[in-house]
């Protein structure tokens, strides 16, 4: 996923019947892009939205900033229902929505020491729907160079599961690799395959969400602290956020100014091949005890392997993992299994399928 800036004529916009101020923000309405509320979606469905913004007042404030936030109602993570279900406290679910900053981008560029603001721009975002029952409210907010809100648009998405009472959480993660343009460098093309995975919630975050330059520290830290695994630019290697592979001086290292090498921001995930689990037996792991036992067996078979990096992965391989939410978490360790359903087969610049991962985690 990548932010695209480009000129665009107003003729491509749909439904331009509103009254606008000097700055405007609109969804582009096509069969490909989501521009209105939707329900009946599947877990981890991949959607895309395209917005166009322009400034009609050359003498006033410029286009300065775009902020994209998403509110999950209820929370992003799956919920383990009590036994009996009638003893549930609905307030724990319904009254704790979670807000998340998906994109916070300054639109200004510095050219020869001067700030240059665009007169218009086009934004394409590709994102995955939540994997737990609930809704998500996507808010797109345009601000001028004085940081005043000048326009906003929003869509609401809804997803319902029939297996919410299960003691495990599972989903299929389809990691779309978006187009980056024919003039993109090989480095840019490869980095478009990189994802930051929040496994329990089932979110695949792009680099501009997790490694934002100049973003407020609290919002940036919040994004980094939910990451359990990072897919490297090859699109086939999975790494724990605290792996030495990502430290400064290593290849490929994370940008140390955008994600400081601090324990508070890097979860300690362990992941191992699970030869004892096949594609046929993967779906038969139905309890927390079975999933944890599969991890224990895989870790024990790994010998001296550190469990911080696996790959390049191949189709039909199964891995067992343990995520670590830190000493302050109510449940520090969570256990899960990961089945590689398919791997990328194309290196073209057009939008194409990346890794497809079936994830199953014990709730709790």
Domain boundaries along the sequence of the chain:
1-163, 166-364
Share of residues in the chain with pLDDT > 70 (%): 79
Report pLDDT for 131.
94
Alpha helices in the chain (DSSP H): 91-94, 186-191, 207-210, 217-224, 279-282, 288-301
pLDDT score of 192:
62
CB atoms closer than 10 angstroms to residue 265: 18
Hey, is 297 helix, strand or coil? helix
Q: Tens digit of pLDDT for each residue in 158-183?
A: 999 887 788 999 999 998 765 544 44
Mean pLDDT of 223-227: 87
Q: Report pLDDT for 238.
A: 93
- Predicted pLDDT of residue 95: 67
**Phi, psi dihedrals of residue 8, rounded to the nearest 5°:** -155, 140
Cis ω for the linkage preceding 252 (within 30 of 0)? yes
Of 38-42, 317-321, 329-333, the range with the highest mean pLDDT is 317-321
Mean pLDDT of all residues belonging to the chain: 81
Give the per-residue pLDDT at 217.
59
CA distance 339 to 344: 15
* Range from 27-31, 78-82, 297-301 that averages highest in pLDDT: 297-301
pLDDT at res. 7: 30
> Of the candidates 136, 166, 139, 134, which has an alpha carbon nearest to the alpha carbon of residue 152?
139
The pTM for the full model equals: 0.85
pLDDT confidence of residue 293: 95
- Report whether the peptide linkage leading into residue 84 is cis, meaning its omega lies within 30 degrees of zero: yes
In the CATH hierarchy, which fold is given to the domain comprising 1-163? Immunoglobulin-like (2.60.40)
Task: Please indicate whether residue 211 or residue 270 has the higher confidence score (pLDDT).
Answer: 270
Model pLDDT, residue 259 = 72
If you average pLDDT over residues 138-149, what whole number do you get?
91
pLDDT at 220 over 90: no
Higher-pLDDT residue of 246 and 356 is 356
Higher pLDDT residue, 136 or 191?
Answer: 136
Could you tell me the maximum CA-CA distance found in the chain, to the nearest angstrom?
68
220 or 241, greater pLDDT: 241
């Amino acid at each position: 996923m990548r932010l695209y800036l480009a000129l665009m004529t107003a003729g491509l916009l749909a439904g331009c019947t509103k009254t606008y101020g000097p700055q405007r923000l609109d969804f582009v309405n096509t069969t490909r892009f989501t521009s209105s509320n939707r329900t009946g979606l599947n877990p981890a469905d991949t959607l895309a939205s395209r917005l166009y913004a322009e400034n009609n007042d050359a003498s006033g404030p410029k286009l300065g900033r775009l902020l994209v936030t998403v509110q999950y109602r209820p929370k992003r993570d799956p919920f383990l229902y009590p036994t009996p279900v009638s003893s549930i406290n609905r307030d724990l679910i319904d009254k704790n929505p979670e807000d998340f900053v998906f994109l916070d981008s300054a639109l200004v560029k510095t050219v020869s020491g001067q700030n240059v603001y665009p007169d218009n721009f086009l934004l394409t975002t590709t994102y995955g729907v939540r994997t737990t029952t609930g809704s998500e409210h996507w808010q797109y907010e345009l601000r001028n160079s004085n940081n005043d809100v000048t326009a906003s648009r929003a869509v609401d998405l809804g997803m319902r599961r029939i297996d919410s009472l299960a003691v495990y959480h599972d989903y299929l993660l389809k990691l779309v690799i978006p187009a980056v343009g024919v003039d993109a460098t090989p480095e840019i093309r490869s980095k478009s395959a990189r994802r930051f995975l929040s496994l329990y919630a089932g979110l695949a975050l792009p680099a501009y969400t997790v490694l934002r330059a100049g973003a407020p520290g609290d919002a940036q830290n919040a994004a980094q602290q939910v990451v359990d695994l990072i897919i490297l630019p090859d699109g086939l290697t999975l790494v724990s956020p605290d792996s030495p592979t990502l430290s400064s001086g290593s290849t490929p290292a994370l940008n140390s100014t955008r994600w400081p090498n601090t324990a508070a921001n890097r979860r300690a995930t362990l992941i191992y091949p699970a030869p004892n689990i096949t594609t046929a037996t993967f779906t038969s792991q139905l309890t927390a005890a079975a999933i944890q036992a599969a991890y224990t067996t895989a870790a024990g078979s790994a010998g001296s392997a550190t469990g911080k990096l696996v790959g390049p992965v191949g189709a039909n391989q199964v891995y067992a993992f343990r995520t670590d939410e830190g000493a302050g978490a109510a449940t520090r360790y969570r256990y899960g299994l990961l089945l590689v359903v398919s791997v990328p087969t194309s290196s073209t610049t057009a939008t194409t399928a990346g890794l497809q991962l079936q994830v199953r985690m014990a709730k709790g």
